[in-house]
Amino acid sequence: MRPERRTPGSPADWLRYARSDLALARGRRKRGVLQSTLCYHAHQAAEKSLKAVLLAASIPFPYTHDLARLITLVRGAGLRWPGSLDAALKLTEYAVSSRYPGISTEVTAKERLEAVKVARCVLGWARQELKALPRR
C-alpha cells in the first residue's frame, strides 16, 4: 500500500529527523544491536539531509533510498555538492540489503564508524546549504 501524499514537512523537520538518525548511529552499541542496524541510521541521516536541501530548493524528490539519485538531483539543480561527499554513495547499501540476513556480510565496527563520519559530513553540508539558500 502506497502512503497517502502529504505535505513533506519543512527542511528543518527533515534535518531534525536526520539528527535523530545520526544520534542513533553514533550511539554506543547496545548488546544485541547489529552494526548494520546502526549503519542503516547513518544512511537515513544522509538521506534526510539531502531531502531537506531538495525541499528547501523547491526540487521535487522521489521517495527513494538511493542516494545517487538524490545527489543527481542536487547536482542537476546547480546546488553545490563537494566531491569529497561522494563517499555517501556507499551508504545506500545500508538502506536495504544490510538489514536482512543472508543478503550481505556483517558490517564491522570500522565500517560503522566510517558510515557515521560520512553521514555527519552530509548533515553538515545540508546545514550550510540551508543557510545559503534564499528563504522561500
Question: C-alpha grid cell for residue 31?
Answer: 548488546
Q: What's the pLDDT score for residue 90?
A: 94
Q: How far is CA 25 from CA 13, 15, 61, in A?
A: 19, 15, 24
The fold of the 11-132 domain, in CATH, is Four Helix Bundle (Hemerythrin (Met), subunit A) (1.20.120)
pTM over 0.85: yes
CA within 13 Å, CB half, 27: 16
Domain boundaries, the chain: 11-132
- What's the confidence (pLDDT) of residue 96? 83
pLDDT digits (tens, 9 = 90+) for 53-84: 999 999 999 989 999 999 999 999 999 999 99
Q: What is the pLDDT along the chain (136 residues), one digit of tens a residue?
A: 455 556 678 999 999 999 999 999 998 778 888 899 999 999 999 999 999 999 999 999 998 999 999 999 999 999 999 999 999 999 999 998 777 777 777 889 999 999 999 999 999 999 999 999 876 5
